[in-house]
Structure 1
């Protein structure tokens, strides 16, 4: 099936995938853009898994100061090269993650950091505690259909480098 250039362009704008990949996947899905997005997302997750062992020592710190300057969030987001670290997309991701930290106030980056004592003390089930307290497991504040971990994997696939959250901090006046 031949697909229109407008459909290819729309898929490219929505996913950041290459033009040839967009065209091929749209032909494969007979022009179904939602199926094409799902396939590209799966491929991105696979690509992210391959890159996860690569060292990420470059990057930047994303900062978000909430209205009224009473709450601020900072996130150190690392990548492999300063080239990617200087891109607008990487900077936007870092700042969006800082905004997420302000909004949802996670306590840990990954589930590996959670202790059984923390879960017991909270009175929640482990799964609920993780969803509430672990940054990577939380639904992204700007798109609740994806977790922070999924958002990072999409960025890895799009930018072609390993990306990790090294650390974060949230300050609130009076807290």
Structure 2
């Protein structure tokens, strides 16, 4: 049986109308993932139109050291939006973020093992579970330590629903103090939050993702009646467009669609008289 809640879940995930979602779920026997693929094969939804927010509630938080050379990003999940907006829970997440920012933890396991009060971050979380009566967990953790000159930056969007951590390197030591550099780093973090790139460069997009996209394009083109001998050529063109939408350096800058992030960085590098490189980024979307 295709329930209203199942249809609503697919609507939130794909931003597609109710009737199309119901039809997709009917065709796929209520399988959400299969329904998403069905809608994409029909050309009704593109991967870029997928809603970024998952089903979990909670808060994403970030911290930077005063010198901007180290930063962390954490996602702490709970079950309900009511709890995530509670002052007690907000303070709890802030406490975790402060503790981890002051630690040397580099992985999620290390973060959970960091000493906190009389125990660890892990036992601190478990105590809050008992206190609030909800399933709470430290779900994601990332730390960036500056590898060269430049800066680490962060951005929190939608009150903790999306978080970004970014490293941009500079060859000269004083570049990070310049307003042009700071503006560039801020703009890129905002762009990442909004555009949700899948990787920094083409090398970071896995072959599995590319092959899955190709399979969907092949079905779309076959449904459109395209000749078999032309399909593979068209698929290659579509993959090029996919890279332009999925790769950070190739994406059109949200504030100026006529330029790419790569060109934006090159332009700013000339302005500050330095070599600037986007080294890495991570983007957390709540529940993703």
Q: How does 1:107-126 map to 2 (within 5 A)?
A: 107-123=198-214, 125-126=238-239
Please tell me whether Structure 1 or Structure 2 has the larger radius of gyration of its CA atoms.
Answer: 2
Contact 1:76 1:166 in 2 (8 A): yes
Instruction: Name the SS for the 1:68 alignment partner.
Output: coil
Counterpart CA distance in 1 for 2:195 and 2:213 is: 16
Mapped pair 1:166 → 2:279: yes
1:33-63 per-position Cα deviation (integer Å, ceiling 9, x unaligned): xxxxxxxxxxxxxxxxxxxxxxx92011122
Structure with greater contact order relative to length (CA < 8 Å, sep ≥ 6): 1
Instruction: Name the SS for the 2:192 alignment partner.
Output: helix
Unmatched runs of 5 consecutive residues or more in structure 2: 1-146, 218-237
Q: 1:66 aligns with which of 147, 154, 157?
A: 157
Q: How does 1:128-167 map to 2 (within 5 A)?
A: 128-167=241-280
Counterpart CA distance in 2 for 1:118 and 1:174 is: 20
Counterpart CA distance in 2 for 1:149 and 1:62 is: 18
Q: How does 1:1-175 map to 2 (within 5 A)?
A: 57-123=148-214, 125-175=238-288
Instruction: Name the SS for the 1:98 alignment partner.
Output: helix
Taking structure 1 as the reference length, the TM-score comes to 0.63
Unmatched runs of 5 consecutive residues or more in structure 1: 1-55
Deviating beyond 4 angstroms after TM superposition, the runs of 4 or more aligned structure 1 residues are: none
Instruction: Quote the offset at 1:115 in angstroms.
Output: 4.3
Aligned-residue CA RMSD (Å): 1.7
For 1:28, the equivalent position in structure 2 comes to none
Instruction: Quote the offset at 1:137 in angstroms.
Output: 0.3
Instruction: Quote the offset at 1:164 in angstroms.
Output: 0.6
